Amino acid sequence: MTSTHRTAGLAFAAALCLAAVPARAQIPIRLGQTVSGELTASDPRVSDTDKSHYKAYVYHATRGEPIRVTMKSSAFDAFLSMGRMEGGTYRTQRFNDDGAGGTDARIDFVAPTDGDYVIRANSVSDTTGAYTLMLERGVAPGPLVNRTISVGQTVSGSLSERSPQEDDGTFYDQYTFHGRAGQTVQITMSSKDVDSYLHLGTMNGGTWSSIKTDDDGAGSGNDARITYTLPSDGDYVVKANTLSRASGAYTLAVEQGTPPRPVSSQDIRADQTVNGTLDSSDAKLDDGSYIDQYVYHGRAGEHLTITMKSTDFDSYLNFGTLNGGTFSSTQSDDDSGGGNDSQISVTLPANGDYAIRANSLMAGAAGSYTLSVVSGAASGK
């Protein structure tokens, strides 16, 4: 699984936040209780865009109380969310898809305040059927311990239910290292037990600011890697985390990294096709994919069709502008060229130089490709 799944889950949860839950539809549930239920076509839907059905349960929790909610079904892929009512609107505080294993869901939650909490028994897709929902006392997360790690050091750690937890219920350990402006660091988290997930950021007055995250960047199964050139002297924070809620041992290494290869450009003209190759000699993006960059000198109103084809990898195109060497994307594409080929059609808004980035969808993908730029009048002109 990749970090994309987290993003999709967050988008789904955002949709869950918006629909009102009528009080009469909330079913009381007690600690230690297991209920049998069934999602049916007559149950309320999440929203106008998410047509899946749900049943709502309510539990009165006290501040600091650890809660575990488990939903199981052999009829559909279970999805759980937990939150509060605010002015008649349901606001999600925690959600989960597969935390109980397989297609079963589990939420571990510590109530931040006294009050009624709404649990939604839902499905990942618009599927109905029988399920069980169990509410039991959970395990309180452990306190946050900020460990120190030095560049050049490797440490061993272990994540468990006693570890501190992120908002999504996953466990993490936190480390701080001191870095210098311009220094490139390579941070690698390896584990045979969990799918590693790394965060790099800073703490300012107790507030976390994320700089970069990674899931599978180490290129070996479930190991994560971040390579980053530090912008300033100071302390940087690493969170050794997991992609989903899981326990197990890991190693964390912070090493001196190799500065990234600068992005170089070559010109491409109208109605030209070039042959290129993506490999380790090319510049690499933050997601670990290689790129070749081309510059096109365009005219206002000119219509371009840009196509990238490859039989070696799933191509990815990015189109935009360059300002002082900084690329700003205005359009991107994966498969519009058919199959794994990408294609962008764009009408240039002004005279000037435009950048075309020949890229791959997956990190580390290499091989040959063709890139063509066809110029012509925009449709309707």
Strands 66-72 and 105-110: antiparallel
Classify 3-137 by CATH class. Answer: mainly beta
Backbone angle region of 207, left / alpha / beta, with phi > 0 → left and psi within -120 to 50 → alpha: beta
- Based on the number of CB atoms within 10 Å of its own CB, is 87 exposed (0-12), middle (13-18) or buried (19 or more)? exposed
3-137 and 265-377 have identical folds: yes
pLDDT at 377: 52
Euclidean distance between CA atoms 309 and 341, whole angstroms: 5
* pTM for this prediction: 0.64
User: Which candidate, 109, 101, 104, 94, places its Cα nearest to that of 124?
Assistant: 104
233-245 burial, b for 16+ CB within 10 Å, e for fewer?
eeebbbbbbbbbb
Q: pLDDT by residue (tens digit) across 324-357?
A: 888 999 999 999 999 999 999 999 999 999 999 9
User: Which of the four pLDDT bands, split at 50, 70 and 90, describes residue 11?
Assistant: very low
CA distance 42 to 167: 32
Token couple for 237 = 């924070």
Does the pLDDT value for residue 50 go beyond 60? yes
Q: What is the pLDDT of residue 262?
A: 87
Distance CA 241, CA 171 (A): 6
The type of residue at 14 is: A
Encode pLDDT of 89-105 as tens digits. Answer: 999 988 888 888 899 99
Q: What percent of the chain has pLDDT over 90?
A: 71
Residues 91 and 120 sit within 8 Å (Cβ to Cβ): no
Tokens of 24: 């009469």
Q: Is the pLDDT of residue 10 over 90?
A: no
Which band of pLDDT confidence, cut at 50, 70 and 90, is reported for residue 7?
Answer: very low
Helix, strand, or coil (residue 10):
helix
Degrees, nearest 5: CA angle 165-166-169: 70
Query: Tokens in use for 271?
Result: 């109605």
Q: How far apart are CA 126 and CA 40, in angstroms?
A: 10
Beta partners for residue 136, in sequence order: 68
Q: Which helix (H) or strand (E) holds 290?
A: strand 290-298
CATH number of 265-377: 2.60.120.380
The mean pLDDT value for 72-95 works out to 93
Query: What is the per-residue pLDDT across 115-128, written as a single tens digit (0 to 9) for each?
Result: 999 999 999 988 99
Q: CA 161 to CA 337: how far, in whole Å?
A: 47
Q: Is the pLDDT of residue 153 over 70?
A: yes
In three-state secondary structure terms, 361 is: coil
| Of 246 and 265, more confident | 265
3-state secondary structure of 326: strand
Measure the N-to-C terminal CA separation of the chain; round to a whole number of Å: 46
Asked whether residue 226 carries a pLDDT value surpassing 70, the answer given is yes
Q: Mean pLDDT over residues 7-18, rounded?
A: 44
Q: Which residues contact 363 (CB under 8 A, 6 or more apart)?
A: 216, 217, 219, 287, 288, 289
CB 186 within 8 A of CB 257: yes
| Per-position DSSP letters for 165-234, written without gaps between them | B-TTS-BEEEEEEEE-TT-EEEEEEE-SSS-EEEEEEEEETTEEEEEEEESSTTSSTT-EEEEEE-SSSE
Lowest-confidence segment of 138-152, 208-222, 299-313, 355-369 by average pLDDT? 208-222
49 pLDDT tier (thresholds 50, 70, 90): confident
Token code pair at residue 342? 């990408």
pLDDT exceeds 90 at position 149: yes
Tokens of 92: 């999600």
**pLDDT recorded at residue 206:** 86
Percent of the chain whose pLDDT exceeds 70: 92
Mean pLDDT of the chain: 89
For residue 13, pLDDT over 50 is answered with no
pLDDT given for residue 376 in this prediction: 80
The position carrying tokens 């050091």 is 153
Q: Where in the chain are the domains? A: 3-137, 146-256, 265-377
Mean pLDDT of 152-165: 93
| Third-level CATH fold of 146-256 | Jelly Rolls (2.60.120)
pLDDT of residue 47: 87
> Alpha-carbon dihedral of residues 318, 319, 323, 328, nearest 10 degrees?
-60
pLDDT for res 1 = 37
> CB–CB of 323/267 below 8 Å?
no
